Amino acid sequence: MEDTMTITGQHRGSLAGLKVVDLSRVLAGPLCTQLLADHGAEVVKVEPPAGDDTRSWGPPFVTEDMSAYFSALNRNKSNISLDLRTRAGQEILTKLLHNADVLVENFKPGTLAKWGFTDPHLRNTFPALIHCRVTGFGIDGPMGSMPGYDAVLQAYSGLMSMNGEPDGTPMRIAVPVVDMVTGSYAFSGILLALHARQRTGTGQMIDCTLLDTAISLLHPHSASFLTDGEIPRRTGSAHPTIAPYDVFHAQDGPVFIGVGNDRQFNALLELLGLRADPRFATNADRLANLPELRGLLASRIAEFRRGPLTKELLSHGIPATSLHNVAEALNDPQVLHRDMVVELDGYRATGIPIKLTETPGSVRTPPRPLGADTSTVLSAVGYSPDDVDALIESGVAQQHGIDPVRLADAFQGGA
């Protein structure tokens, strides 16, 4: 494998030269820092001796100590393993922060303060540092400091109540959407804080919670409730305010058809060989007579094969698709054309969703083994070889992986 930080240092992504200390685990924080790393930031992931919880979230596993789950969130980062409960570990973190622009963490509220890194201490000691904190509910208020995973917040926020069939029970959304959007919000918040720092010269706290994200995802149900006071009901795959917008079954499998206006609806009727009906003239009419409309469309769509049908619908400006499984989606020609599946040295993952023409992101290094870069990161922040050996021997730092990486320029300069 090539020199990780040499590659990173030469990369001219939008965030080249930005130095990030990643203390986060699980999903939202690691996704945020991976987005930063994909666009050129130099990210050092600091894991406890036992590693990020998600290293064991399998099968499947990529390597003995790395699940597929973990591998999808931690590329383009160097990796150091520290016991931050120790005074020596805390001193190492201080050295890292002295040369960092951004700190990302999702500890239980109070954990950093217990180790001496209170909010006032961080502001006073590292005035230019941008500190991004991710928690479940925030650090204060009636639910402040309470723990929360993605599914807990889906349930708490009302998001889960909207997912599922009308006559079924509430269901967890199958992907961890709250965590993933929180990671994206954290990424955006860091970019906002970096822009503000250009004017002020000072950093700030970015306070992201899974709760805030989950509430923000309730649209359009939240907007409807705040307007008419009616508690929204589950509609399955259908849309609560647009019709037809749902899954239908063709001869050879399910398709999704989304009609957003009257022109599209009239074109749909024509392509299906159906006559106009005053019961369905407007979107409001279609919603008022939805059972009749669905029955009419379902019986006709069942006569077609899904491939030719969706191709014809799309050619006439009607949004439609075969309902793909994950394998079909990740092998789809358009997905591959958009570089949304990447491969590097045996590493396979989804690609970079933010495309920039002049400073594109890149996948430069696979996720690293736990502690693979411990000695080189410690050397880069001023520890002698003897000091590094002593820290590893004492258990303060761990060197778990083979370390071919040289981080000669890591964490020099910065905030």
Distances in Å between the Cα of 74 and the Cα atoms of 210, 347, 405 are: 20, 11, 16
Residue 102 phi/psi, 5-degree rounding, is -135, 140
Task: Calculate the average pLDDT of the chain.
Answer: 92
Query: In the block, which residue shows the tokens 């929360």?
Result: 148
Whether residue 177 is contained in a domain is answered as yes
How far apart are alpha carbons 154 and 117 in whole angstroms? 31
Tell me what pLDDT residue 4 has: 38
Spatial CA neighbour of 280 closest among 265, 295, 301: 265
Q: Look up tokens 């909207």; give the residue.
A: 162
In terms of domains, do 324 and 368 share one?
no
Instruction: Examine the domain organization and report whether 57 and 89 are in the same domain.
Output: yes
Q: Mean per-residue pLDDT for 101-119?
A: 95
Number of domains observed in the structure of the chain: 2
Question: pLDDT grade, residue 411 (50/70/90)?
Answer: very low
Q: Are residues 151 and 287 in the same domain?
A: no
Q: Which residues are catalytic?
A: 179
Same domain as 126, residue 81: yes
Domain match, 177 and 79 both: yes
For the chain, report the end-to-end CA distance as a whole number of angstroms: 30
Q: Are residues 203 and 281 in the same domain?
A: no
Residues in the chain: 415
The domain spanning residue 300 has which CATH number? 3.30.1540.10
Residue 347 banded pLDDT, cuts 50, 70, 90 = very high
The encoded tokens of residue 23 equal: 């203390």
Please give the DSSP secondary-structure letter assigned to residue 338. T
Domain extent for 292: 245-330
- Report if residue 240 sits inside a domain: no
Q: What confidence tens digit (pLDDT) does each residue in 36-79 have?
A: 999 999 999 999 999 999 999 999 999 988 999 999 999 999 99
pLDDT in tens, 308-317: 999 999 999 9
User: What mean pLDDT do residues 347-353 have?
Assistant: 96
Q: In this structure, what token pair is assigned to residue 87? A: 């005074």
Q: Please tell me whether residues 309 and 273 are part of one structural domain.
A: yes
pLDDT (0 to 100) of residue 285: 97
214 shares its domain with 362: yes
| Residue 58 sits in the same domain as residue 161 | yes
Checking if the pLDDT of 10 tops 70, the result is: no
Structure tokens given for 141: 């208020």
